[in-house]
Amino acid sequence: MILTAFAHMFSVIFLRAYRKPRELTWLSGMVLLFLALGFGFSGYLLPWNTLAFFATKVGTDITGQVPVIGHHLMVFLRGGEEVTGATLTRFFGFHVAVLPGLTTLFVLIHLALVQYFGISVPPGVEARWKASPEQARQMKFFPNFFLRELMAWHIALGVLGALAAILPWELGTKADPFAPAPAGIRPEWYFMFMFQTLKKIPAKVWFVDGEVAGILLFGATGLVWMLLPFIDRPGGGRGRKFIMGAGVFALTYILAMTFYGYLAK
């Protein structure tokens, strides 16, 4: 799910499908990507094995480095100062109740915006369609598109159910909070590039702690990324080239740091 969300995000970037009037569609899609990452983070602890316990401890420790609100956010996520059974209960609630509810809401909002503003196409194709409306390919959302999506979801759920039955995931060793952290603790692939970046930042960047500087950098980058539709305005040729270059750089950086994280010992 997270892989397809990332792929969809970059396809929107490279096709400039976020441009006016689809700014709200882009924003709702970004919220859905963050919710998908939240599913990945909250679900990682649920097996309650050694790897999940210490990976969640590291992840919430990083959250605690956020300036001003970091400690309060960490305590909120953990349900206390340490990762305990209360954290497991809290993450289970997030994973099966809070996040599904928010995701359902934003999926409906996203679909409504797509229906209202239409599906974006590359600028060249859009210009041809405006010149010759009869060439435009259209499909009704209901029942045509809805039935196609329903079939795709049935296939996906069937594959998932088959994998769960034939190749069940092992729970591993039960978490022991008093045991030493095993060597090589790493997050899942979708957090790997951030994890590796934070590891490579020096302990001090001027007068700021390295982890704090890295978190601020990722936060600022995420904010600018969400505001792309308002930055790439019509007529800004140089700005569009910069955004395309930034998209290529971001994709290359994520792939490179992810592969590096798995290859590094």
Residue 180 lies in a domain: no
What is the rounded CA–CA span in Å between residue 58 and residue 129?
51
Residue 76 and residue 116 in one domain: yes
Q: Side chain identity at 13, as an amino acid letter?
A: I
In a domain, 177, yes or no: no
164 plus 38 within the same structural domain: no
Residues 156 and 216 in one domain: no
CATH of the domain at 10: 1.20.810.10
Query: Do 103 and 163 sit in the same domain of this protein?
Result: no
Kindly state whether residues 45 and 100 are assigned to the same domain.
yes
Q: Which residue has the tokens 């590359």?
A: 122
pLDDT score of 135 more than 70: no
pLDDT in tens, 3-41: 999 999 999 998 888 988 899 999 999 999 999 999 999
151 and 37 in a common domain: no
Is 176 a domain residue?
Answer: no
Q: Both 17 and 81 in a single domain? A: yes
Residue with tokens 């709702």: 28
Pair (155, 230) in one structural domain: no
- In 145-184, which positions are buried (b, 16+ CB within 10 angstroms) versus exposed (e)? eeeeeeeeeeeeeeeeeeeeeeeeeeeeeebeeeeeeeee
What's the mean pLDDT when you consider all of the chain?
87
Residue 171 in 3-state DSSP?
Answer: coil
Residue 178: inside a domain: no
Number of separate domains in the chain: 2
Mean pLDDT value of segment 191-205? 89
Cα(187)–Cα(169) distance, integer angstroms:
17
Q: What is the pTM of this model?
A: 0.87
Q: How confident is the model at residue 137 (pLDDT cuts 50, 70, 90)?
A: low
Q: How far is CA 83 from CA 8, 79, 89, 135, 207, in A?
A: 34, 8, 11, 58, 30
Nearest CA to 15 among 169, 94, 121?
121
Residues 161, 255: one domain?
no
For residues 184 and 174, what is the distance between their CA atoms, to the nearest angstrom?
18
Structural domain of 252: 2-138+188-263
Shared domain check, 210 and 149: no
Taking the C-alpha atoms of residue 213 and residue 216, their distance in angstroms, rounded to an integer, is: 5
Angstrom distance (rounded) from CA 132 to CA 135: 6
Specify whether 70 is located in the same domain as 99.
yes
Q: How far is CA 105 from CA 96, 110, 113, 115, 253, in A?
A: 15, 9, 12, 16, 32
Q: Is residue 183 part of a domain?
A: no
Please check whether residues 163 and 64 belong to one and the same domain.
no
**pLDDT for position 83:** 93
pLDDT at site 165 = 92
Q: Mean pLDDT lowest for which of 31-35, 64-68, 157-161?
A: 64-68
In a domain, 37, yes or no: yes
The answer, yes or no, to whether residue 242 has pLDDT greater than 90, is no
**pLDDT above 70 for 129:** no
Would you say 215 and 65 are in contact if contact means Cβ atoms under 8 Å apart? yes
